[in-house]
Chains A and B, each alone.
Chain A
């Protein structure tokens, strides 16, 4: 006999109502690939589980006329991969979401859950930050938006207000000549938490970088938007000097810890290596044109 309750509401209002009413005792269930592990280990003991997967706005993907994408917060990575267009426009975001865990995990895990779990090493977040994604959330006081990089507040904490549920991600329309990529360093080939994760999105015009954003994960309490790295790339032809400067900016932005997955020294050193490799892939995709 437990005193946990499980609810699977059909509407967002219902979900918010129940979630807000239960206060800190409630948890949102999307894919469950973080929540169930935390419940099993005893780290989290929810009184109420609100399963949001029956709410259509949270589980659908839309491409709007202007070319932006709205992705429901609970869309599993495997479903996102099956969308006919998303992966062509945002290959970096897609590969980031689909590096989380295993094939089985990707069948359930969502970018929304990954963001709200707020691990400093979350795989989807550096790519979403690089993409300039805007999140929409809704709570008892209504709906609002926020740039994705503002959502994580610290390890395991977000800037969502009490009762707020993440609804969707909006990725902006892609200018021609744009490309994105995500790379992470893990010791094995799969199944590890990122030791460092790097997302780069950039736009090239006549070989010159006209826009760039860099997200860096697992090197600070929250995933970072590294503006200095982007600045080093913008206006350049992505030559060695620019890439090295961006790499140094990434290493300089690192404030990692020593833990069972990596050391301060190691993470700081390879942040720059990953930046260069990720930028190279993003640039290749940008040059090939979308």
Chain B
């Protein structure tokens, strides 16, 4: 059985890769696409470290076959900054010490970005429930939630 050839768009750029039919999108990102910013914490959709955007929908890349990327629009952590200009969430995470080891950070940022695009005015509770699928073991979530709320406030104020 030969490999599948997939043509897709990742972070706005057309990309192609070969994969096995049972490879997940996470396998493809971390393997042939060499985009290792998305992390594998569990491979079962329980930790969110592999979070990406699939056609503007927040999903776990470990729960998607790489073959499904054909013709779709994929956004990963690598596409969040614009060159040397960090996204406001990335900047705020740094300023507020909302990361320690960093393994969950890619997923947290992608998920937080998805939240603020959908709901620019989330409450603390809404942030916490939105991010329930992103496990962090280092921070206790406190500074992450604060960073998301502050970024939301600043973005609303037009900063």
Please give the residue numbers on chain A whose beta carbons come within 8 Å of chain B beta carbons, in ascending order. Answer: 1-6, 8, 29, 31-33, 36-37, 39-41, 49, 51, 53, 76, 78, 101-105, 107-108, 189-191
Contacts and interface: CB of A to CB of B under 8 A. Distances in A.
Contacts of B43: 40
A108 B133 contact: no
Nearest to A32: B63
Given A2-B1, A33-B45, A101-B45, A107 B21 contact: no
Nearest to B128: A189
B57 A78 contact: yes
Nearest to A102: B133
Contacts, number: 100
A29 B65 CA distance: 9
A5 B70 CA distance: 15
Interface stretch (B46-54, B86-94, B140-148): B46-54
B52 to A, nearest CB: 9
B159 to A, nearest CB: 26
B102 to A, nearest CB: 19
Contact of B133 (A31, A78, A101): A101
Interchain residue pairs A-B with the least CB separation, the first 7:
A102-B133, A190-B132, A6-B21, A104-B60, A107-B57, A107-B59, A4-B21
A108 B63 contact: yes
Contacts of B60: 102, 104-105, 108
A37 B68 contact: no
B127 to A, nearest CB: 11
Interface string B20-62: 1110100000000000000000011110100100100111101
B45 A5 contact: no
Contacts of A53: 68
A31 B67 contact: no
Nearest to A76: B57
B111 A103 contact: yes
19 contacts: A2-B1, A2-B20, A3-B1, A4-B1, A4-B21, A6-B21, A36-B62, A36-B63, A37-B44, A37-B63, A49-B22, A53-B68, A101-B45, A102-B132, A103-B115, A103-B130, A103-B133, A104-B51, A105-B133
A274 B157 CA distance: 43
A104 B21 contact: no
Given A3-B1, A40-B24, A104-B63, 10 more contacts: A5-B21, A6-B21, A6-B65, A37-B63, A39-B22, A103-B111, A103-B130, A107-B58, A189-B129, A190-B129
A94 B134 CA distance: 22
Contacts of B20: 1-2, 4
B4 interface: yes
B1 A31 contact: no
Range, interface on chain B: 20 to 34
B116 interface: no
A107 B65 contact: no
Given A5-B1, A78-B57, A104-B58, A191 B21 contact: no
B64 interface: yes
Nearest to A109: B63
Given A2-B20, A104-B111, A105-B60, A36 B133 contact: no
Contacts of A191: 46, 132-133
Contacts of A189: 129, 132
Nearest to B129: A190
Nearest to B107: A104
Contacts of B46: 102, 191
A31 to B, nearest CB: 7
A200 B146 CA distance: 37
In this complex, the member of B4, B24, B58 whose beta carbon has the largest number of chain A beta carbons within 10 angstroms is B58
A3 B21 CA distance: 9
A207 B79 CA distance: 56
Contact of B4 (A6, A29, A36, A40): A6
B44 A104 contact: no
Nearest to A5: B21
A6 B67 contact: yes
A193 to B, nearest CB: 11
